[in-house]
Structure 1
Amino acid sequence: MPLSPIMSRALAAIAITATASTLPAAQTASAEPVSCAQWTRHTVAAGYGILENLGFDGRGNLLLAEQSATGSSGTLQRLGADGSRSVAVSDVEGPGSILTAGDTAYFTTGNSVTAALTDRADGTIQALHLDSGTVQTVATGLTMPNGLAQLPNGDFVVSRDIGAGTLTRVTSDNIATPYVPSLSSTNGLAFDPHRNRLIVSTTFNPTSVIAAVDYADPDSPPRQAVIPGVGPLNSADDLTVGPDGKAYVTLNVAGAVQQVDVDTGRTCAIADGLPLSSSARFGSGPGWDPNALYVTSFLGTVTELTPP
């Protein structure tokens, strides 16, 4: 039987700590953690299965990547701002990250630890056309695609936090090549258009690193900020870039959300006591507060964090 995401995360933390390499330090920005005011929390929804990721469709709905207890089959759920629930896409094998661009919501499949440990290349990128509800396959042949981002030229980047892989760049004609091989155990991805860089989190390395990859020069050493604590015990998961240019990172095992300034290295926890937090996005579309951060968890909850 496939392992659940929760059990997989625990086993991977044990197995990978001994073998993961640290990242190049030349561009690392370090700073003592600073205190920041706690954001107010409010439970928006509960009772879902394991929630891996989320994304807003711009039409008043929140899309949720819901995995089953076995970590294989799942669905894309739709949560309305009014609390209504429906299924956007059924029978999704290992749904991962969700990325909305215009009238399309892209999402990854095959995001399971079984695929990672066996190098099973059955992962895909799918496109949900929001007007018609139809689903189209965009890319195939990927191994455990977890995080998802799109570069300015239209290429996609997917991450893999378990196994030998790292970031993979996928072109519009489904050609996959390694991307920024200096990064390992990669997970959360978000493209920062104002600074023209890809923000990346690492999950199981000895330290939790948030890296900024220069889109114009991806082969140069990425600038990095380090989140305090032991990497696997943090388990930095998905992230987003806020209007302030800072990264907001969910710490799955630590149960917290960190605000990270990659340029200065300053980090602080805006919320803790959020067990198994998996993903975060700022509100977008009718009914969702654009200043609030919405956080999913493996416990099937969606929490709204409002800044002080």
Structure 2
Amino acid sequence: MGSIVAALAVGVPGAATAAGPPPAAAALERCAAPAQVKVFREGGVPLLDWRENLEFDGRGTLWVAHIAKHRVEGYAPDGTLRTSFPVNGPGGLRRGPDGMMYVNFGVNPLSSWASGGGVMRFDPAAAHPRPEKVVEGVSGVNGLAIDAEGNFYLSRELATGIVKIRPDGTKDAEWTRKANVFGANGLEIVGDQLYASVITDASSPVVRIPLKNPEQHTRVTELSPNPLKLKLLDDLTFFNGKLVVASFRDGELIEVDPATGKSCVLVSGLRMPSSVRVARGFGDSDPRRDLFVVEASGRIVKVTAG
């Protein structure tokens, strides 16, 4: 997440999406299936121990972007900190199609206009990972997604257009111009669609952007029935056919059906959740049931769906 202060101040729709109206907002009910929350790692002082993003490498390590301490951490399934290394302002974390790990740098939770941002790559199998820059010169970066061809997609919370970077490091300016979503935060690719949560819009929308036709982006749903109570949507993931979106402000994980927009609250009572990912190749965690969440409180929690 980038500028929380700015998001609270703006709180109004931006240049959001093309094509037809989204489903009408309604008060969200609890999902029918219960979910259990277990603390994987306790946090410290809220905000000062801010863990911003996470991703599994599929080889038994959970990688976490600790934005407050400017480092990336690698955890074992028993909660042991295996390794860590410095990254200035780490944000979105994703596993690439090449098996390498990628992390945004230059992310600032108090300013979405931080300069000098981009993407770093590191080898998750290395005993002492050494990150190297693969994308530079993108200001205000936050979320990250990588498609099967190795293209990077970077969200910017106070700018219009999701930035697309080709595998060779060049910018696809035309794609970005067509994906003119303002205030995107979390990004997730499902098949040939890119889904984005929008943080600076009072209706708290989730947007679908076709990778091949970004100008045809549409809203899947709007999650704030009251425009004065925007949810500050952060990262999202795809889980058992549904999207699961973190609401930073309300401490919720919200389940969204990408086909219908129907939504419900999967988990509440979290402490400023900023990212959620499906557990893959991580000890006895089951990707059909288990999600992990990081929070600005510093906690890492495990959510097991019923």
- Within 2, Cα distance between the matches of 1:249 and 1:88? 27
Which residue number corresponds to residue 299 of structure 1? 297
SS at match of 1:76: strand
Instruction: Note if contact 2:17-2:217 (Cα within 8 Å) is conserved in structure 1.
Output: no
SS of aligned partner of 2:230: helix
2:162 paired with 1:167: yes
Q: Aligned match of 2:230 in 216, 228, 233? A: 233
CA distance in 2, matches of 1:282, 1:208: 22
Is 1:99 the counterpart of 2:97? The answer is no
For 2:143 and 2:222, how far apart are their aligned partners in 1?
19
Q: TM-score scaled to structure 1, two decimals?
A: 0.87
The match for 1:20 is: 14
Structure-2 change in CA distance of 1:81 and 1:170 (3 Å) = same
For residue 39 of structure 1, report the CA deviation from its aligned partner: 0.8
Give the Cα–Cα distance (whole angstroms) in 1 for the partners of residues 74 and 177 of structure 2. 32
Gaps of 5+ in 1: none
Shift of 1:85: 0.8
Alignment of 1:23-62 (within 5 A): 23-24=17-18, 26=20, 28-30=22-24, 32=26, 33-36=28-31, 37-47=33-43, 49-62=49-62
How far off is 1:19 after superposition? 7.0
Structure with more strand by fraction: 1
Structure 2 Cα separation of the partners of residues 297 and 115 of structure 1? 18
Q: Report matched runs for 1:131-280 at 5 Å.
A: 131-132=125-126, 133-161=129-157, 163-176=158-171, 177=173, 178-193=176-191, 196-230=192-226, 233-244=230-241, 246-280=242-276
Structure-2 change in CA distance of 1:40 and 1:115 (3 Å): closer
Tell me what 2:63 maps to: 63
Contact 2:16 2:180 in 1 (8 A): no
Q: Secondary structure at the match of 1:295?
A: strand
Cα shift at 1:56 = 0.7
**Which residues of structure 2 form unaligned runs of 5+?**
none
Cα-to-partner distance string for 1:78-98 (whole Å, 9 max, x where unaligned): 1110121133322x1111010
The share of aligned pairs that are identical, in percent, is 25
Which residue is equivalent to 2:124?
A: 130
Superposition RMSD in Å: 2.2
Partners of 2:163 and 2:124 lie apart in 1 by 26
